[in-house]
Structures are given as C-alpha cells and as structure tokens.
Amino acid sequence: MSTRRILLADDDGALREMLAMTLEMEGYRVAQADDAEATISALEKGAFDILLLDMGMPPHEHDIQEGLRVLEWLQRHPRDLKCIVLTGQDPERSAYRAVKAGAFDYLSKPVKENALLQAVERAGLFLDNERRLRQEEQTQKVTLTLPLGQGVKPARNMAEEQLLRQVLEETGFNIHETARALNMNRENVYYLLKKYGIRRPERADTSS
C-alpha cells in the first residue's frame, strides 16, 4: 500500500469523490480542490507527491486557462511533485500546452481505471528515483523548455534560475541553507535573487 499524497484538482464534485475513492482504495492519501485558486492554496500549504489536474475549471470550464494557471504557478514555485493532467479538453489543443507548461503526463477523459492507476504509479516511480538521485548523488534534476538558436547563455540563466527556485522552495526560502546546498556564499544568492527578480514569499520562514 502506498502512502503518497495526491492532490486532486477537478471542478466536478461527483467525479472528484469517485477519483478520491479509487485512489484511497489503493492506499493514497487524497486532498481535493475544486478550482485553480484552491489548488494553488493547497500546494502552498501542504506537500504532495502527485497533482492530478483537470485543465478546465471554473470560471473557464470549457478552456484550459485555469489548468495552465496552476502549471505556470508550479514553474515559478517548483514543488517536489509530478503533475498528471486528467482532462476532457480537446487533446490536440491542450496536451501540447500542458506538456510545455511542465505536466509530467497527460490523460484524456474518460480514462480507464487501470490506466489512471498506472499513470499515478509511473509518476510515483519517477518521483522516487529523482529523490534518490538527489539523495545519493547530490544531483538535482531540472526540466527546462529552452529557445533554440540563441546560444547557451539563456540556457545557463534559465537552468540557474530554475535550480535556485527549486532549492529555495525546498529550504523554505532559507538563504543560509540555499547557499549551502548550492555551494555558494550568501551574497551570491542575494545577487541571483535580484538578478531573477525572485522575492521572498511573505509566509516563508525568513531566518537565514
């Protein structure tokens, strides 16, 4: 039995309950959110391993913009989780945008129960091994979407920013811990915060 925490984001209450029950029977601990705002709020407050995200949520149930809002928030505030998109939107339009915005997997409604559980399991497997990689080899996997044909400087900057954001999120914006994890001095961390316009969140532990 798994003890992973899953956040379910879907505006359809009935479906959400049924999804929650299916996942709970497999041993997952499930929290629920019914719109983008509630999803972001839940991600801010708690730690999850997997986010199961519906792209069409109020007030734009017929569009993907609410799902994209969550994915874009995750890009700015990286979390140690995998996002699986489970949506009824047209895959031709939404899959590309979702993958571009950092989704790990994409499932089109209606999906068979087995396919859903396999996708969740697969996401968990990737997450475990990335965590292991970090623990055993002190390496951080960073996924980037880079523009081609502009040389390596933008790639370096984006990788630097992404890495910094990830470590900051993990350390709860603790500058001392972040500097230690990145093997930098604190002044350099402050310099990079300024360079990339990263601001200390109000709720975070500010001790450094």
Contacts with other proteins by CB under 8 A lie at 10, 12-15, 17-19, 21-22, 25, 56, 61-62, 88-89, 109-114, 116
For residue 85, the cross-strand partners are 53, 106
Alpha helix ranges (H) inside 1-78: 13-25, 36-45, 65-76
What is the SS3 assignment for 183? Answer: coil
For other proteins, the closer CB: 45 or 62: 62
- Between CA 45 and CA 43 the distance in angstroms is 6
CB of 56 to other proteins, least distance (A): 6
- Between CA 66 and CA 60 the distance in angstroms is 7
CB of 43 to other proteins, least distance (A): 23
Contact status, residue 58 vs residue 11, Cβ threshold 8 Å: yes
For other proteins, the closer CB: 93 or 156: 93
For other proteins, the closer CB: 111 or 184: 111
CB of 12 to other proteins, least distance (A): 4
For other proteins, the closer CB: 77 or 97: 97
Residue 51 has phi, psi (to 5 degrees) of -115, 120
CB of 48 to other proteins, least distance (A): 20
